[in-house]
Chains A and B, each alone.
Chain A
Amino acid sequence: MKSESIKAALLSVIIFLTFIGAWYIATLPRDNGPVSTADAEYAALMGKGAEKSGGFPAPGKVGQAFVEHLADPFYDKGPNDKGIGIQLAHSLGRVGLGFLLATLVAIPVGFAIGMSPLLFKAFNPFIQVLKPISPLAWMPLALYSLKDSSVSGIFVIFICSVWPMLINTAFGVASVRRDWINVARTLEVRPLRKAFLVILPAAAPTILTGMRISMGIAWLVIVAAEMLVGGTGIGYFVWNEWNNLALPNVIFAVVMIGVVGMLLDLAFGSLQKLVTYRE
């Protein structure tokens, strides 16, 4: 078992190095031929010899972007230029708020739907229609009706992360083993007590799976929403660097989005382990 994980780690490192190597070779500078001195002025205006964004950046350039941004993650040079740490904090704040609101709605409603087959049938068509709508499709509607861009961003997070949680909660609650509910009934447990002490622990693993899926979606959505609304956040950072065609910074941001997404997922993974039980 132990030797296998070492082997896997080794393989991961090899894959990574091969990838970087291939990238390095693919982006080796090509010789553009000597620039004649006659149009030296033109060449100077075209930025020949200067650093610029031509082609895909080499790994060295991207590495440099990593070092620069991570060396000073919390700088604040005005409303439109902040460090990566501040941008990520803004994004996480938005995701956290939208996700919290979604949890507050999805879990009680999911509980109610799960306990009553009638409600489940009644709500199902609406959930099925609303679930697949892209977050960005909500954006113009939210901006128009909520009249506030930051509230709209949070609303979009909310509306996209509410469905998986709702469905999973309802499913988890509905599929609690009949025996346990029957035992509770025999012991004349009051409904509230039954909900919190029998059904909730039994459905918790399924509910947390829903929350984990929702968090993944929320993190996907925030980047797109911030690119649209702008202002602050990692999505805005990507957009701002794209305007400048500064690909090393964009690649850096993409990796950061991946890392933060993974950390969020790991956090929910360990929460899930806490509530898992064996029958």
Chain B
Amino acid sequence: MSLHDPFDPNAAMSGCSCGRHASQTQHDIAAGAGVIDALNSRVIQTTVMRALFPKDAERRKFLSAVGASTAWAAISSLIPFGTLEAMAQEKGSLEKKDLKIGFIPITCASPLVMADPLGFYKKQGLNVTVIKTAGWALIRDKVINKEYDASHMLAPMPIAMSMGVGSNPMPINVATIQNINGQAITLHVKHKDKRDPKMWKGFKFAVPFEYSMHNFLLRYYVAEHGLDPDKDIQIRVVPPPEMVANLRAGNLDGYLGPDPFNQRAVFDEVGFIHILSKEIWDGHPCCSFGAPTAFVKENPNTFAALYRAVLTAAAMARDPKNRPIMAEVLAPANYLNQPKAVLEQVLTGKFADGLGNVRTVADRVDFDPFPWYSMAVWILTQMKRWGYIKGDVRYKDIAEQVYLVTDARKHMAEVGLAAPKENFRKIFVMGKEFDPAKPEPYLNSFAMKRT
């Protein structure tokens, strides 16, 4: 710290300590002097003193006469140094303030979308534009092209993108999980009598993206019922917003899709909810909030601010009593563009299932943000199971590289969310146990696989 104390009567304020720079500030920048906060407060104090005493000699005289501490007390009673410093600190530490964040208009995106109308981004000093995007492939391309700084992504997408599966490799990090559960298998109303998956031979199903939980859960579900997802049924990629229109047109027999499009199909009387995804794996991740590793490294403070904003929203979204408000906030055309009645059924868990029943499932969707490594490992086992990746997979390494568990835990504590202490936990999918420490034996235990 070489910036001179402006309250030191013996120090000259014009020029710098080495005499080669026009001012001390420039000297410090040139010398790469760190400790930004202290430097900031010195710069502010110096600026104020310089404004009060344009001539250095006067300042020295004044300070010698009254003493530095008296001067400091007198001046700080007039000028709010603390506030000035706080303002400067905010400006100095956020590397990038104007951010673009992509999202797909589904309830999974709730935390990162509602952070905009509720002002959580602004509170962190960020000027975020949330941009509705037509499909997951476009999200991927726009993240790779750096049109988006961070984005709503499916939980498996950052893993696939980091590994270079289905695109050029680009390291992506998962900051938080956006939501758990909240998906469903929806079938066309004409299939009301075909509730047994064994009767689904020849069905055309849609999932939002190849590297999605939807794809892996649907494959898992039909395989458990003896159907080969590649031969007995057809799985197509359809962007979520287009699923209902395609179901209505008879283009699809059903889909494992994100809400609100399951409930929307019921609301429009074109489909019914066969099962909720939580009946396959209770607590499964669906979407995540991700950013390129390069962005995380270059903008640590901005990224931390983003983290806090999204986690604040997640904390609010977890509370059941906030769910009706969320439906209100998310319904307008700028965000999800859906009838409020539909969003409310999804978020509160009291819904019509399209078969004449009213069901109440409080945790139909939840917004637990913790990015368990075990989730990533399970996703990798399924990617290998269905032939998306081949050969030896370093499950644990990849999970640890992509999912930011430690950061999530730190920032969750900052916004008052309780985070688990461990990074791995056992998972139960359709009653079958998955031990994240033994991915290969788990993979080998399936009869139907492509390895």
Contact = CB atoms under 8 A, between A and B. Distances in A.
A52 B134 CA distance: 23
Interface in A199-248: 227-231, 239-245
Interface string A57-79: 00000000000000000000111
A53 B268 contact: yes
Given A229-B134, A240-B337, A47 B267 contact: yes
A47 B242 contact: no
Interface in A243-271: 243-245
Residue of A46, A79, A81 contacting most chain B CB atoms (<10 Å): A46
A123 to B, nearest CB: 33
B241 A80 contact: no
B141 A143 contact: yes
Nearest to B141: A143
B141 A45 contact: no
B134 A239 contact: yes
B197 to A, nearest CB: 26
A41 B358 contact: yes
Interface string B326-369: 00000011110111011001000011100011100000000000
B267 A46 contact: yes
Interface in B124-161: 129-134, 138, 141-142, 144-147
B265 to A, nearest CB: 10
B402 interface: no
B338 A42 contact: no
Contacts of A143: 138, 141, 145
B350 to A, nearest CB: 8
A54 B269 contact: yes
Contacts of A243: 105, 241-242, 337
A77 B333 contact: yes
A42 B268 contact: no
B141 A244 contact: no
B244 interface: yes
Interface stretch (A20-28, A144-152, A157-165, A189-197): A144-152
B134 A228 contact: yes
A274 interface: no
Contacts of A46: 266-267, 269, 352
Contact of B268 (A54, A149, A229): A54
Contacts of B350: 45
Contacts of B393: none
Contacts of A148: 145, 147
A79 B134 contact: no
A149 B105 CA distance: 19
B134 A242 contact: no
B437 interface: no
A233 to B, nearest CB: 12
A143 B268 CA distance: 35
B242 A79 contact: no
Interface in B224-277: 241-242, 244-245, 248, 264, 266-269
B70 to A, nearest CB: 53
Nearest to B241: A243
A39 interface: yes
B132 A80 contact: yes
A118 B335 CA distance: 57
A143 B131 CA distance: 17
A77 B332 CA distance: 9
Contacts of B337: 80-81, 240-241, 243-244
Given A39-B356, A42-B357, A147-B145, A245 B268 contact: yes
A242 B341 contact: no
Interface residues of A, number: 32
A50 interface: yes
B147 A79 contact: no
A142 to B, nearest CB: 11
A144 B142 CA distance: 10
A52 B266 contact: no
B338 to A, nearest CB: 6
A230 B134 CA distance: 6
Nearest to A230: B134
Contacts of B138: 143, 149, 228-230
Given A77-B334, A229-B138, A240-B337, A149 B267 contact: no
B86 to A, nearest CB: 29
B361 to A, nearest CB: 13
B334 A81 contact: yes
A100 to B, nearest CB: 24
Nearest to A235: B134
A79 B356 contact: no
Contacts of A245: 244-245, 248, 264, 268
A242 B245 contact: yes
A61 to B, nearest CB: 15
B107 to A, nearest CB: 13
Contact of B338 (A41, A50, A147, A244): A244
A242 B249 CA distance: 13
Interface in A121-160: 143-144, 147-149
Given A54-B269, A242-B245, A42 B352 contact: yes
B132 A230 contact: yes
B264 to A, nearest CB: 8
B241 A47 contact: no
A228 B239 CA distance: 11
A42 B353 CA distance: 9
A79 B131 contact: yes
A226 to B, nearest CB: 9
A81 B142 CA distance: 20
A250 B248 CA distance: 17
Contacts of B339: 47, 52, 244
A80 B133 CA distance: 9
Given A81-B337, A230-B134, 5 more contacts: A42-B357, A50-B341, A79-B130, A79-B131, A80-B334
25 contacts: A42-B352, A42-B357, A46-B266, A47-B339, A77-B333, A78-B116, A80-B132, A80-B334, A143-B145, A144-B141, A148-B145, A148-B147, A149-B138, A228-B134, A230-B131, A230-B133, A230-B134, A230-B138, A240-B132, A240-B333, A243-B242, A243-B337, A244-B333, A244-B337, A245-B244
Interface of A: 39, 41-42, 45-47, 50, 52-54, 77-81, 143-144, 147-149, 227-231, 239-245
Interface of B: 105, 116, 129-134, 138, 141-142, 144-147, 241-242, 244-245, 248, 264, 266-269, 332-335, 337-339, 341-342, 345, 350-352, 356-358
Closest A-B pairs by Cβ, 8 of them: A243-B241, A81-B334, A45-B352, A78-B334, A147-B145, A230-B134, A81-B333, A80-B132
